[in-house]
Amino acid sequence: MDTKDLDTILKEFIGILSEKQREVIEKRYGLHGEKPMTLEAIGQEKGLTRERIRQIEEAALETLKKNLNELSDLIERIKYQLELLGGIRREEQLLEEASALLTPKPVELWTSKAIRERWQNDINFLLDISPDFFYFFEKPDIYSNWYLREEFLKKAINIYKFVEHELKITKRPLPLDQYQLLLRKTMKEFRIHNENILISYLDVSKKFSFNPFGEFGLIDWELINPKNVKAKAKLVLRNANRPMSYQEITKAINELNFDGKRASINTLHNELIANDEFVLVGRGLYALKEWGYRPGTTKDIIISILAKKPMTYREVLEEVKKQRLVKDTTVLINLQDKTTFKKLPDRRYCLIQSANKKN
């Protein structure tokens, strides 16, 4: 079957209608390459009220539904496909997949937007007039979808509640291996034997998503869907798992193209400086505070180290290196500050205030 053949079938099918009814159905569903129109728009074009157009459409659909046996083969093929995917499918996906199922030239669907839209309009018409399919209007947390029976919709909603509960327990995005474990646990809970069916269910929900690094979680988590520069920088650093320069972080954010908004170096740098979730650990290098890095200058870090006990230069250097990416000479120069540090006879360093207390 090609595009012309499907058009021919539908033209013959709606040919049983009066001319006025046929025109309303063609314009309403965008059949034969037209754009779908609202009842009001059709009424304005025909010089009729919206209510009159609705009445014409209602009478036409009633007639067509009495003759659905002429389209039984097409409808059954779409129905079988939907059953294979668990009885419920996101509208956008179903229209694309059913179009590819019915055409012998699927490549045309991806090379021509006009042909793709034409097929999807025809598929939408088939779904709408058949009593086997039910439409779910889009809600804030669920995409518009088609389903075969109420039980499939209820099952989908229960799956969303279960997965959301599991994610809230972990409180963090799941890498691929843990995502697979969650899928298996959910499949066992709801007796689903095909992973593709569960993925199809999850695809209908707006609550879940993957971040650019393939981690799965709740869409309102900033590490899944970062909405500002700070959140994007945090996600980039967590994925790298190492300190990065602000130039490198900016480049990574722009390459990932989270939401099409480019980050500027100056804006990012100011955010890193102002937010205490980030710690400057070297010249232009930033790390996450959650990794155990303490805020402050190199001198501040040395003070906190020597506040515990006196140490040799090498011991101090080793501890500083855990907190800062600095040159050895930087630590040595800081230790020369005789207003803060004192070198003991045994070559260890201590804080001046500590030495004074002992005296």
Instruction: Report yes or no on 1 lying in a domain.
Output: no
Instruction: Report yes or no on 7 lying in a domain.
Output: no
Is there a single domain that holds both residue 90 and residue 136? yes
Instruction: Report yes or no on 171 lying in a domain.
Output: yes
State the CATH number of the domain containing residue 308.
1.10.10.10
Query: CA-CA distance, 298 to 335, in Å (whole number)?
Result: 10
Integer CA distances (angstroms), 268 to 166, 264, 271, 273, 278, in order: 34, 6, 5, 9, 12
Instruction: Choose the final residue of a domain: 218, 245, 274.
Output: 218
Query: CA-CA distance, 18 to 71, in Å (whole number)?
Result: 19
Q: What local confidence, expressed as pLDDT, does residue 33 receive?
A: 76
Instruction: Report yes or no on 254 lying in a domain.
Output: yes
Q: What is the pLDDT along the chain (359 residues), one digit of tens a residue?
A: 544 477 788 989 999 999 999 999 999 999 977 889 999 999 999 999 999 999 999 999 999 999 999 999 999 999 999 999 999 999 999 999 999 888 877 787 778 888 888 889 999 999 999 999 999 999 999 999 999 999 999 999 999 999 999 999 999 999 999 999 999 999 999 999 999 999 999 999 999 999 999 999 999 999 999 999 999 999 999 999 999 999 999 999 999 998 888 999 999 999 999 999 999 999 999 999 999 999 999 999 999 999 999 999 999 999 999 999 999 999 999 999 999 999 999 999 999 976 555 54
Q: What local confidence, expressed as pLDDT, does residue 151 receive?
A: 96
Is there a single domain that holds both residue 141 and residue 153? no
Task: Tokens for 145, please give them.
Answer: 């979808």
Which residues neighbour 1 within 8 Å (Cβ) at sequence distance 6 or greater?
102, 103, 104
Is there a single domain that holds both residue 97 and residue 124? yes
Instruction: Report yes or no on 345 lying in a domain.
Output: yes
Instruction: Report yes or no on 25 lying in a domain.
Output: yes
Question: What is the total count of domains within the chain?
Answer: 5
Q: Which domain holds residue 277?
A: 229-291
Is there a single domain that holds both residue 274 and residue 325? no
